[in-house]
Amino acid sequence: MKRAALLAAAAVTALSLAGCGDTTEASATLFNDSTTTLDIAASSGDAIAQSVMIDLVANEAFAGAPSADFVGDFPSGPNTNPGTPVRTKVCLDAAGATVANCSPMSSVRKIIVGLTFDATRSNANSTPGGNSATWTGSVHRTQTDTTTRIFAQNTESSRVHGGNGSAHDTTTFTDAKMTRKMAEVAHDTVKGITFALPRTSNPYPTAGKIIRVDSVHVEITAATKTVSKDLVRNVEVDFPADAQGNVVLKVNAKTCNLNLVTHAVTNCQ
């Protein structure tokens, strides 16, 4: 009799544990590595396009560099609502001496700009299987950008950007099945991003790369179930771009297409 009672108790315990296991497994299946990686690609691609096409060029204009074509209101990326950017500048001549107030610009050979800004943004992307997701979020970014002006005899032929940046961004992706909220802490390295002049005929970088190390905390919710996960992704974009502003964006082993004009990330494989 006592043995039967013990066996019955063990059976109840096993069933209870099985039930807990089912709940945990159901929550765990909410996380899909491919979907989350695509979310990171979309967020990082938007940030890199913003940096290349808007921030770096606007840094030149802030210092008073001539012929900074395509500089509009900052930032002018798709679906971005900026706050007020804060910039500081230091200009150096060919000998490395400070050029006060960056004037005269003809003496300036290096421009060092510090930038901070907060913004909100929104966009859309497609997840694996063709599900469409909309996303919104806020960004908090800092950047140190050094522009080196390259001359052929007395004519400026190109500008080369290098520096570092950091981002603290939050982005929420929503599709028909679930909501995915990402908190990102990213560190960016800009290496040799080169703009040939004049920009009217050379709108996109001809060389260089941007590398981002993105530490992400993602929370995924569907109905009453929620699961969270921490992960790190390495993102890289190499230049030159093609005539339409397309470049290859790499997220770990996955490759995607990034359009620098629309900020869209597509064809991830």
- pLDDT of res. 70: 45
Question: Band of the pLDDT at 232, cuts 50, 70, 90?
Answer: very high
Q: Note the pLDDT tens digit of each residue in 192-211.
A: 999 999 888 888 999 999 99
Beta bridge partners of residue 165, listed in sequence order: 143, 188
What's the rounded mean pLDDT across residues 217-243? 95
Return the pLDDT at 29.
76
Split at pLDDT 50, 70, 90, the class of 10 is very low
Q: Are the CB atoms for 44 and 214 separated by under 8 Å? A: yes
The DSSP result for 43-59, as a single string, is HHHHHHHHIIIIIHHHH
Residue 61 vs residues 69, 112, 155, 177: alpha-carbon distances, Å: 9, 12, 18, 45
Residue 132 pLDDT class (50, 70, 90 cuts): confident
pLDDT of residue 7: 44
Region 51-78: mean pLDDT is: 71
pLDDT of residue 72: 41
pLDDT of 53 strictly over 80: yes
Q: What is the pLDDT of residue 199?
A: 84
- Is the CB of residue 90 less than 8 Å from the CB of residue 114? no
b (16+ CB within 10 A) / e for 39-52: bbbbbbbbbbbbbb
Is 61 in a helix, a strand, or coil? Answer: helix
Identify the DSSP state of 106: G
Mean per-residue pLDDT for 221-235?
95
Report the pLDDT value the prediction gives residue 148, as an integer from 0 to 100.
97
Q: How many CB atoms lie within 10 A of CB 37?
A: 21
Coil, helix or strand at residue 102? helix
Average pLDDT across the chain, whole number: 85
* CA gap 216, 158 in Å, rounded: 36
Q: Are 250 and 236 a contacting pair, CB within 8 Å?
A: yes
Q: What is the DSSP letter of 107?
A: G
Q: 208: which 2 tokens?
A: 């260089």
Distance (Å, rounded) from C-alpha 111 to C-alpha 90?
6
Task: Please state, in angstroms and rounded to a whole number, the distance separating the CA atoms of residues 78 and 265.
Answer: 13
Please compute the mean of the pLDDT values over residues 121-143 and round it to a whole number: 81
Say what percent of the chain tops pLDDT 70.
81
Does 154 score more than 80 pLDDT?
Answer: yes
pLDDT at 128: 56
